[in-house]
Amino acid sequence: MSTGEIKRVIIIGAGQAGGETAQRLRQAGFTGDITLIGEEPAAPYQRPPLSKAYLKGDLDMDRLLLRPTNLYSEENITLLTSLRAVWIDRANRKVRVEGGRELPYDALVLATGARPRKLPLVGADLDGVFLFRTAADADALRPRMVSGAKLVVIGAGYIGLEAAAVARQLGLDVTVIEMAVRPLARVTSPEVAGFFLDEHTRQGVRFVLGGQPAIIKGRERVTGVALTDGSEIPADIVLAGIGVTPEVTLAQQCGLAVENGIVTNRQCLTSDPAIYAIGDCASRPMAHFEQRVARLESVHNAVEGAKIVAAAITGGKPHTEEAPWFWSDQYDLKLQIAGLFQGYDRVVLRGVMADRAFAAFYYKGPKLIAVDAVNRPAEYLGAKMLIQTGRTVAPSELEDESRPMKEIVAAAR
Ligand code: FAD
């Protein structure tokens, strides 16, 4: 079907990617029907604050929303919440929702996100054991986060460490168990991981690195986590932050290609020419990842997918991909990341970690591929621009703190 013939778009998943797609379709001038189906009760909202300001109690639900709810009806976007899509009939281009209603589409966008991995342990269903993905998860956890309570976080990724930081700020006793020998093992270098380990330790978080939980203990409520080495850590709350799996149930049911997410081409088109897939549920070749297929879990990636799809459906100018970015807030530290560090062979520091404001630049050969900037927004923005435009600078220039970042970027080739 050519772009001009698309009159009905259905988006399954009213999260960051789905919500952005509906909005960007209208911005791009699409005048046909848009139906946005989401199983959660809320209109599309941002998840990042859930493990940051929202968990701490500094932000309410209204502030999480991507946009005010009334805008959907004003822009003639049919938003169906608390409703799950259960079947895709590709031959007849219909989506069936719970209750049996069938909705026809000309173009379908799968934006079904990801599900948090459950702890594969006895006791994982006890009261007091939490997964962390939705506002409902945060709402359930928040009242238990009282001063003096014992929290065990399993998994030292960004979400686990952010929750640990909030918990310390609220006066909880916090232990983080991580199977790897360092925190953030999948997402950053040993140098930057070491900085965050020291920072959390200074703030009173205990770490069990290389630790393997064996069983979650308790009768009805959790009382502790036993490790395979026989030790036991007492707990009133256990938070599992051991990663997510892409939500691909519908895609698999209807026979789309799936491999670590729903497989798409650069235009986010799946193996069916009427179905796109974007956000955490999808894998695609990425311009800033040497065209390798990757599945990213980030706001940046959700927004990129929405822009690509809106351009494809409306026949607009193809979107030029932005370099990936991400952030994490822990205590008063703002970590900003641009690019993808995988495959780096050299890390160059600008600033001193002890000052709690520095940037780690990652090089692959002579090429700058990523930055982790802690409380250094100028370094983040400068490096992001260099990575975006494929320019690079010699490591010695970045190490020279006497030259402002702006000047270094302006002189880069
Ligand atoms: P989601 O936002 O998960 O939305 C998918 C939606 O689809 C969900 O509401 C789901 O219920 C719904 N759905 C699934 N199947 C169906 C169905 N069959 N029918 C109807 N609805 C369905 N990223 C950053 O860049 N920076 C951060 O600091 C950061 N912090 C985070 C902190 C937390 C606690 C979490 C959970 C995530 C964080 N992320 C962060 C990641 C970021 O939020 C996600 O990458 C982003 O939300 C992905 O958007 P999405 O639309 O693909 O998926």
341 and 362 in contact (C-beta within 8 Å)?
yes
- C-alpha 12 to ligand 1 mean position (Å): 12
Q: What is the mean pLDDT of residues 316-333?
A: 93
pLDDT digits (tens, 9 = 90+) for 125-177: 999 999 999 999 999 999 999 999 999 999 999 999 999 999 999 999 999 99
377 and 359 in contact (C-beta within 8 Å)?
no
Q: CA quadruple 121, 185, 117, 334: dihedral positive or negative? A: positive
Which of ligand 1's atoms lies nearest the C-alpha of 17?
51
Single-letter residue type at 106: D
Q: Is there an atom of ligand 1 within 6 Å of 225 CB?
A: no
- C-alpha 67 to ligand 1 mean position (Å): 16
Question: Quick check: 252 pLDDT over 70?
Answer: yes
pTM for the predicted model, two decimal places: 0.96
Q: Is there an atom of ligand 1 within 6 Å of 298 CB?
A: yes
Q: Is there an atom of ligand 1 within 6 Å of 325 CB?
A: no
Q: Is there an atom of ligand 1 within 6 Å of 387 CB?
A: no
pLDDT digits (tens, 9 = 90+) for 5-35: 899 999 999 999 999 999 999 999 999 999 9
- C-alpha 16 to ligand 1 mean position (Å): 6
Q: In whole angstroms, what is the distance from residue 353 CA to residue 32 CA?
A: 53
Backbone angles phi, psi at 247, to 5 degrees: -85, 105
Here the tokens at position 11 are 């988006």
Q: In whole angstroms, what is the distance from residue 164 CA to residue 151 CA?
A: 8
DSSP 277-341: E-GGGEEEE-GGGTT-EE---SHHHHHHHHHHHHHHHHT-PPPPPPPPEEEEEETTEEEEEEE--
Which of ligand 1's atoms lies nearest the C-alpha of 329?
28
pLDDT digits (tens, 9 = 90+) for 346-375: 999 999 999 999 999 999 999 999 999 999
Per-residue CA distances from 273 to 26, 253, 315 (Å): 21, 17, 14
Q: What is the mean pLDDT of residues 205-215?
A: 98
Pocket of ligand 1, candidates 59, 88, 133, 299: which has the most ligand atoms within 8 Å of its Cβ, to mutate?
A: 299
